[in-house]
A and B are shown apart, each in its own frame.
Chain A
Amino acid sequence: MTLNDSWVPDDIDITVPSVARVYDYLLGGGHNFAADRKLAAQVMAMDPSFQHVARISRAALGRMVQLMAGQGIRQFLDIGSGIPTVNNVHEIAREVVPDCRVAYVDRDPVAVAHSELLLADDPRTMMLRADIRQPEHILDNPDVNRLIDFDQPVGLLFLMMLHWVPDADDPQAIVGQYRDRLVSGSYLAITHVGTDHDTMDKLPEVEDAIRRSGSREHLFKRDADQVRALFGDFDLLEPGIVGCGEWRPNSPGDISDYAAGNQIIYAGVGRKP
């Protein structure tokens, strides 16, 4: 069955898997369609630890947001927020800062629609449909500016996001534009598919499966130095760029028994001096 009839715009073709929905499925969610589950099943058949990777990286998000909120960050900009699933940024942050404000940004129209429905009654959150590669569209968007005061510290999140940006688009320069807009005391969190682990020999197959699925997204993994460079002149918090399971774990579910699950995704948080 194809829904890609004339009334469905190209980018809402649910016969093509979406990274956001595959991620939701790997977490155990039901916010996904058959094509997403098919790709997820292929990936998990290659290595079951990918399911843990999703869970571990989601747990890292929680710790990173808690840390920022604990440092007094009251406004967050989450770029590439995907499908709202368990443990969203505003839910985590509000346990620490109840009146914090969160702007979510994604380019997947279904993820955007879902977020808008969920956030409809919450005036301290918003959803913007935009592409990370056009920073000015996001940073100068009037709605974003109503919610986020760039004269105050901001918690900027690129979680499981930048490895979808090709080198040709110069992610360093893109992230630089966002960093430049932030004031001193702002935080930047990044999780990113890395290369510095020897257990993940299945990654090429995963890339291949994604490519063959017809997905518009392609994986661009980067090494620790490249990920570190994305932080620019920000001061990296301890322990620096590490596997996301190893980034300040504080409870049993934060670390996987599978070593690869802990290491395949790099995590890091930096603070603007």
Chain B
Amino acid sequence: MTTPSQGPDFSRQPSEDRRSRSLLTRKWAYLLADVAVVPLQPAELDEQLGALLNTLCDSLLSEPFADRGAEQVGQRLVTVGYVTEAGLRCTLDTLGKGLLGMGYPADRVVQALSALSAGFVAASRESVFAQQEAMQVSLLKAVRDARWRIQSSENRFGEVTEALSSGIMIINMDYTVARANAAVADILGQTTGELIGAPLRDLVHPDSASELRKDLDQLRNGDIQRVQRPLRLVRQDNTVLVIALTARMLRDAENKPAEFVMVIEDSTELMLLQGELNRQALHDVLTGLPNRQFFTTQLETALRRADAKYGITVLHLDLDAFGLVSNGLGRQAGEQLLVHVSRQLSAVLSGERVMIARFEADEFGILVENSAETPEVTALIGAINRELAEPFFVDNHGVALPVSIGVVHRPARDSDANEVLRAADRSLRRAKSGRRGQWGIHHQGTDLAERENHRLAVSMAGAWEDGEITVRYRPVMTLGAEPVMAGVEAVFDWDGRTHEECVALAEDTGLMLQLGESLLRVSGGQAQWWRQRVGFTLPLFLALTHFQAVDADLVSRIIRACKHTRVAAEQLVFGFPASSLTNSDAADNLDTIADMGAHILLDDFGLGPDDLALADTLPISWVRIAHRLVDSRATFLPGLVDSLAATDARVIVDGVATEEQAEFWHKTGASFVTGSLRGPTQDPSDLVNLL
């Protein structure tokens, strides 16, 4: 037995040792090949293992003992092939016995094989890591390749389908759009981006939906191979389009339904015509500007894409009293003026990212997508006003039209475009209501009657001040055989012009808000006086116009008037035109007024689709059937009145002038009338006799 400090006690003949090593190598190779996968010819394996054994023996003899050589043998063993734990066991077993048999000292053999094992494990770990790494990379590549294949197949689909004039849609099994080509987008008036993911039912007209669904179910079940049918689709703008549909089912590798392919065609002249109409439908022919519809869709997009920091600004611009120019100087002059205005606006705003549209006759919409350089809103409006205040000469008449502008500045990104437009419109109306027709125009008389009307409109304020316009009263009467007065409605009178004519003029000039408040003050005072004189307690009716109904100051005006006249709110009945109540401001006003204790009349009832629903949901005490329906003998009327009765509202019919009308409405179930038959409009002094 030797000790490490003494060094190896090893003295053999070199030739004998070589032979022993060669035998051991062959044994090692033979056994290893049986448990490991080695990509070497037997002779090559012998050669490699022989070299390893020599290295190992050299390290056994080194003084002092060096681990390094034996460790390297273990590392290189890993590279011979897939030498797993079985290969290591076989190696240790074979070499341990062999080396001891060759006379190497046991402690050195143990040391060397330990180092060999350590080197093997380290290299084996590295090898496995490297292989795993290679697999991860392969996996990622496989995924990327697969995605590339999908992409390139989509690209091919794209190239082929985009070139086609027919619309091609791929529909998922959940009936949403997977793909659509440009032709589909054109046909439906949407972008392909908007179409992808859209439910099919949103594109198909409800009348066609159930039949289409039946057809697709049959395709899915394999009952039929192909569907060919005309189909009604609904475009983005809600117009209906009839197309020819061909649909097939695509199945996957396992023959399960995968997706529907739909070809939609409209190659008829109608389709071409429709395209032209669409273009025309989006632009104003006179000024060449986009129209309101186009503006609205652009607004929708701009809201979403706007720079969050600066947002957008929407201006709703109205040429004050443009109608007067048009009527006073002729239509052609009016048109020239509109073209002029559109050019001036473009010039003023040329530095901005902006869309200018012509809405209606004399109204323009401006959409500014703000940036860091965009001036303040006030500066922008100032610039517009200055530019348009410059007189423009039409037929030698210098015309300068001031404008009213409604502004919505930086609406929330998720706002609805229509809501933004409504807000701009409301803001415009408010701006206008504060004015009295400002315009400068040089007349050279053409149509006297028209001009007379315009003259009247501007002189209304003065007429009220001068007492030319007075307040009169018309009774609200019951419809029975012995008519009884049930209330009194305050109305205007201006040299024999009816209340309706006066209101129309005042509404035109934005004067109605002030005039309406005056009407309430005068009639409220009158009612108080009657109360003291003859114990008058009947309701006092005040019909509001549209602008009054939506007026943000309506409630405060009423409170002021009540305070001033001391009339009790409970005695007042405010008539809201049914059509105004789709506006949320009007509905808010109505609720507040009802809360104050005043009663609500749903006025001008029966002309709108939602009127009955309004009567049912709002706190309404009275309903007045529109004047225009008084001669209607429509068969639905009795049912309508019945439905109203069910809401506990009392029903008035307006404008009843003959016994025949009264009889008809009495039969339908209405209880009250206003109109010349039962009670003509009267001065307060005459009416007091009836009370």
Binding site for B on A (CB under 8 A): 7-9, 11-12, 14, 21, 27-33, 55, 58-59, 62, 85-87, 91-92, 95, 109-114, 116-117, 250-253, 256-257
Contacts and interface: CB of A to CB of B under 8 A. Distances in A.
Interface string B329-352: 000000000000000000000000
Nearest to B40: A87
B83 A91 contact: no
A252 B34 contact: yes
A81 B87 CA distance: 26
Instruction: Identify the 8 closest CB pairs spanning chains A and B, nearest first.
Output: A253-B33, A30-B131, A28-B82, A114-B138, A87-B39, A113-B142, A113-B141, A30-B128
Interface string B646-678: 000000000000000000000000000000000
Interface in B145-168: 145-147, 150
A248 to B, nearest CB: 14
A257 B134 CA distance: 33
B131 A31 contact: yes
B142 to A, nearest CB: 4
B535 interface: no
B275 interface: no
B132 A30 contact: yes
Given A113-B142, A114-B134, A252-B33, A86 B41 contact: no
Contacts of A110: 135, 138-139, 142
Contacts of A116: 141
Contacts of A32: 135
B258 to A, nearest CB: 13
Nearest to A88: B39
Nearest to B127: A30
Nearest to A108: B142
A28 B39 contact: no
B538 interface: no
A109 B142 CA distance: 6
A23 B128 CA distance: 16
Nearest to A112: B142
Nearest to A118: B134
Interface in B193-237: none
Interface string B117-133: 00000000001111110
**Chain A interface SS verdict (over half):** helix
A9 B252 CA distance: 14
A92 B139 contact: no
Given A28-B83, A109-B146, A110-B142, A251 B131 contact: no
A8 B143 CA distance: 6
Given A30-B131, A30-B132, A62-B39, A113 B33 contact: no
Contact of B34 (A62, A85, A256): A256
Contact of B30 (A29, A114, A252): A252
B142 A12 contact: yes
B524 to A, nearest CB: 70
B64 interface: no
B612 to A, nearest CB: 50
A86 B142 contact: no
Contacts of B51: none
Contacts of A21: 135
B391 interface: no
A251 to B, nearest CB: 4
**Of A7, A30, A112, A252, most B-chain CB atoms within 10 Å:** A30
Contacts of B37: 27-28, 55, 58-59, 85-87
Contacts of B150: 9
A157 B245 CA distance: 50
Contacts of B462: none
A52 to B, nearest CB: 9
Given A28-B82, A28-B84, A86 B39 contact: yes
Contact of A7 (B32, B137, B143): B143
A7 B140 CA distance: 11
B81 interface: yes
B302 interface: no
**Of B29, B87, B128, B134, most A-chain CB atoms within 10 Å:** B134
Nearest to A129: B145
Nearest to B145: A113
Contact of A114 (B38, B41, B135): B135
B36 interface: yes
Interface in B19-67: 29-34, 36-39, 41-42
A33 B128 CA distance: 12
A92 B39 CA distance: 8
Given A28-B37, A86-B39, A109 B81 contact: no
A248 B129 CA distance: 36
Contacts of A257: 34
17 contacts: A7-B143, A8-B143, A9-B146, A9-B150, A28-B37, A28-B82, A32-B135, A62-B39, A85-B37, A86-B39, A87-B39, A91-B39, A110-B138, A114-B134, A114-B135, A117-B137, A252-B29
Contacts of A85: 37, 82
Given A9-B143, A28-B84, A253-B34, A113 B41 contact: no
